[in-house]
């Protein structure tokens, strides 16, 4: 028996307590036993996870009920107490329909709870009303997450809402959603949650590799794990967020519990897991669509649309390099378009490796490429163009035969955003002059308002 139970004798009331504990292990559930004066005789341990009170035994339940809900609660209680004798002739554990009332949390807030009363007043061993209580789930975060997805909100905004929804349906557990955009690991935490330590990397990797939920409790943790991970939370549970076909783990939902018993959130059942899956699948699908819309399918660099968007998003001074491959047409004519495509792919790879990480490489069509170089002056742009020229000039082997192409470059620079509208045209004019002077040449367009060529 636990302290505060209805009786210290092992018997029917002990069985009742065991049943109450089992019922209360569902997230958001707890159970209480009150006498005819409505004083709490026993309460399951989970009352603290829902209402925050460490112990409610000895308290009158009316003091916990919102003033506006007291009349409704008393109607149900009176129905039981006034009909106790009739109930005992029919069934010693007769129920009435549940009522929903607000109970006071330790922090002063109100928790909406659905209460089902079971009449044991006539039972000499129990002698009370048994209340089975379930926290009413606030689904506003689920609706918000769905609304954010429908409005194409960034995944960074959606996942914290999903985690918060999981918390609200998990009787106080704290949740994290861990996912892998572009091969990276990022942790999203509900913004109104207490900061949580990240789950052990080995536990996350096991979840990813086995596609099964993992659990680590204080009782099963090593002393080192307990000291590092369980200062505040008792149970860690991770579940995979699977793609619909179940072959790909898109992320992991990590849940920290404040109670020792097994958590009952299941990967296949809990709506937060399904919601996280929808959000991640939706994000991946839309990311693929956005990537396809802004990138060249052959060379994998930006296309003309992606180039225009990147140029428009560039702040401050920048230079634009307009590139045209030399001697590319003979490759197509001699070896065919398939070999020509291989040369284009190799040229795009070499251009991308020759520029800085912040530079944007695009294929504008055919054998024409462009590079946006933020924050560089014309002299620095010329040095980047020379690196590109040396990289592209290296032979490409086609059918065992070395084939060479070169590149001509036109460069234009802009100091202010209002100069950017003609940047491509000015770079194109410089490229035309470079081609007219011969192959593998670099030409720089005059500065805006300057008639002198470099």
Can you tell me the mean pLDDT for 115-127?
Answer: 78
* pTM score of the predicted model: 0.56
Report the alpha-carbon distance of residue 145 to residue 187 in Å, rounded: 17
Task: Select from 214, 215, 218, 245 the least CA-distant residue to 233.
Answer: 218
Domains and CATH numbers, the chain: 12-135 (3.30.450.20), 140-292 (3.30.450.40), 304-444 (3.30.70.270)
Q: Which residues pair with 30 in a beta bridge?
A: 133
DSSP state of 267: T
b/e burial code for range 197-232 (CB count within 10 A of at least 16 → b): eebbeebbeebbeeeebbebbeeebeeeebeebbee
> Tokens representing 236?
């860690």
Report the alpha-carbon distance of residue 253 to residue 16 in Å, rounded: 35
Can you tell me the mean pLDDT for 310-319?
Answer: 90
> Tokens representing 361?
């490489």
What are the distances in angstroms from CA 103 to CA 29, 69, 134? Answer: 13, 9, 11
Report the alpha-carbon distance of residue 346 to residue 335 in Å, rounded: 16
- Give the CA dihedral 40, 41, 46, 52, nearest 10 degrees: 40
pLDDT band at 315 (very low <50, low <70, confident <90, very high): confident
pLDDT tens digits, 77-88: 776 666 545 544
The answer to whether residues 103 and 73 touch, using CB atoms and an 8 Å cutoff, is no
Report the alpha-carbon distance of residue 407 to residue 337 in Å, rounded: 19
pLDDT tens digits, 232-278: 666 677 888 877 776 788 888 887 765 544 444 444 456 777 788 88
pLDDT tens digits, 332-388: 888 888 999 999 999 999 999 999 999 999 999 999 999 999 999 999 999 999 999
The answer to whether residues 257 and 263 touch, using CB atoms and an 8 Å cutoff, is yes
Q: Is the pLDDT of residue 224 over 80?
A: no
């Amino acid at each position: 028996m636990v302290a505060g139970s209805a009786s210290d004798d092992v018997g029917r009331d002990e069985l009742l307590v065991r049943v109450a504990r089992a019922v209360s292990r569902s997230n958001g559930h707890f159970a209480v036993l009150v006498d005819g004066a409505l004083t709490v005789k026993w309460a399951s341990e989970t009352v603290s996870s829902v209402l925050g009170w460490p112990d409610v035994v000895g308290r009158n339940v009316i003091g916990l009920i919102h003033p506006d809900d007291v009349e409704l609660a008393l109607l149900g209680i009176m129905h039981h107490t006034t009909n106790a004798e009739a109930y005992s002739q029919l069934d010693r554990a007769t129920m009435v329909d549940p009522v929903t009332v607000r109970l006071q949390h330790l922090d002063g807030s109100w928790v909406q709870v659905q209460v089902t009363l079971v009449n044991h007043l006539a039972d000499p061993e129990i002698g009370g009303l048994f209340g089975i209580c379930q926290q009413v789930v606030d689904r506003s975060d689920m609706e918000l997450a769905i609304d954010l997805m429908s409005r194409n909100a960034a995944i960074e905004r959606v996942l914290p809402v999903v985690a918060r929804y999981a918390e609200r349906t998990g009787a106080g557990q704290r949740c994290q959603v861990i996912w892998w955009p572009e091969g990276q690991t990022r942790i999203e935490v509900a913004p109104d949650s207490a900061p949580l330590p990240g789950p052990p990397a080995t536990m996350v990797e096991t979840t990813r590799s086995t596609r099964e939920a993992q659990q680590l409790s204080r009782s099963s943790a090593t002393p080192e794990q307990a000291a590092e991970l369980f200062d505040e939370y008792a149970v860690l549970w991770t579940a995979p967020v699977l793609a619909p076909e179940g072959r790909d783990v898109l992320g992991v939902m990590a849940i920290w519990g404040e109670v020792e018993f097994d958590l009952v959130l299941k990967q296949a059942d809990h709506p937060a897991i399904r919601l996280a899956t929808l959000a991640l699948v939706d994000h991946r699908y839309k990311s693929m669509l956005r990537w396809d819309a802004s990138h060249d399918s052959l060379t994998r660099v930006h296309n003309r649309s992606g180039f225009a968007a990147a140029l428009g998003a560039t702040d401050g001074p920048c230079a634009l390099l307009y590139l045209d491959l030399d001697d590319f047409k003979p490759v197509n004519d001699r070896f065919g378009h398939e070999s020509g495509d291989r040369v284009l792919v190799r040229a795009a790879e070499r251009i991308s490796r020759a520029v800085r990480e912040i530079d944007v490489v695009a294929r504008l069509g055919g054998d024409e490429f462009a590079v946006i170089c933020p924050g560089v002056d014309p002299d620095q742009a010329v040095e980047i163009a020379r690196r590109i020229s040396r990289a592209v000039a290296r032979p490409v082997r086609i059918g065992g035969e070395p084939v060479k192409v070169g590149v001509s470059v036109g460069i234009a620079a802009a100091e202010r955003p209002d100069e950017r509208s003609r940047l491509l045209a000015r770079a194109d004019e410089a490229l035309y002059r470079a081609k007219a002077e011969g192959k593998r040449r670099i030409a720089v367009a005059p500065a805006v308002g300057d008639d002198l060529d470099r």
